[in-house]
Amino acid sequence: MPDLKVHAPFEPTGDQPTAIDGLVRGLGEGLRHQVLLGATGTGKTYTAAKLIEAVNRPTLVMAHNKTLAAQLYQEFREFFPDNAVEYFVSYYDYFQPEAYLPRSDTYIEKDSSRNDEIDRLRHNATRALFERRDVVIVASVSCIYGLGAPVDYGATVISLKVGGRYRRDGILRHLVDLQYQRNDAALARSRFRVRGDVLEVQPPHGEYIVRVDFFGDEVERIVEVDALTGEVQAERRDVNFYPATHYVTPRDKL
C-alpha cells in the first residue's frame, strides 16, 4: 500500500512547521490530547494533512456537523489524491422521532428519509479500513455510535479468488445472509443475479458490478464491469464481498 502523501503546490510556512513538529512529537510521546490553535484561513487543514503524512497511520477526522465534514472531505481528497479519503456521516436526510403532544392529543409517527449516496460512502469507508492502511476517514460526530464488533463484520466477508473452488449455492446463500437481494432482472447496490455460470454482484460501496465466471465449482475469472455500459473496467485476481448492512452478526452468535 502507498504511504499517505500530501500533494500541494506549496510547503509549510510561518508557524506551520513548528506546529507540525510539535504535534508529531506529542503523538510520539503518547499524548492523548493536543490542540492546534489558529484563526480562520491560517491553514489548519493543511497543517493537519502534513501531520497525517508525517505519522502515516489510518486517521479519523471528526467534525461537529455534516457541513464541516463535507468541506474537510473535499479538502483532504485534494491533499491526498493517491490515498483513500472516505466520508462517514449519518445517512438520514431527514429524521422525525415519534412524539406525543398531550395538549392536542396528537401522536406524531416516526418518519425518516435516507440518502442512498451517503450510505454508499459509509460502506466504502468501512471497506477501506479493512483493505488498506493509507486511509483518512472524515466523519461527523454520528460515528461515535457503535456499528457492532469489527471482528464480527470482518468474519462474514465472502472472499473469492481466481482458481479457487467454492460451492456456488453456498455463496448465494451467504450473500442472502449478508442482506443482499437476488434480482435477476435489474442490478442495483446490494443486489446480485445469476445467469448460467455467471454471478454478478453490485456491492454496497460500489458504482460498478463484479462479475464472477464459474466452471463448475471453480472460479475462472473475476472482472469489474461498468454498471451502465457493461464494459469491462478491470481484471481482478480476487474480490471481497462485504455485508450489505453494517449491522450483521455471525450465525454462531445468534
Contact (CB, 8 A) for 194 and 182: yes
Contact (CB, 8 A) for 168 and 217: yes
Q: At a CB cut-off of 8 Å and minimum separation 6, what does 16 contact?
A: 43, 46, 47, 50
Instruction: Tell which CATH classification among 3.40.50.720, 2.10.240.10, 1.20.1060.10, 3.40.50.300 matches the domain 16-144.
Output: 3.40.50.300
Convert the pLDDT of each residue in 106-115 to its tens digit: 988 888 888 8
In the chain, where the domains are located: 16-144, 157-253
Q: Which fold has domain 157-253?
A: Penicillin-binding protein 1b fold (3.30.2060)
Q: What is the pLDDT of residue 253?
A: 75
Contact (CB, 8 A) for 46 and 8: yes
> What type of residue sits at position 233?
Q
Contact (CB, 8 A) for 209 and 225: yes
Q: What is the pLDDT of residue 191?
A: 97
Tell me the whole-structure pTM to 2 decimals.
0.88
Fold match between 16-144 and 157-253? no
Residue ranges, the chain, pLDDT below 70: 1, 254
Q: What is the pLDDT of residue 161?
A: 98
Q: What is the pLDDT of residue 72?
A: 97
Q: What is the pLDDT of residue 40?
A: 86
Q: What is the pLDDT of residue 194?
A: 97
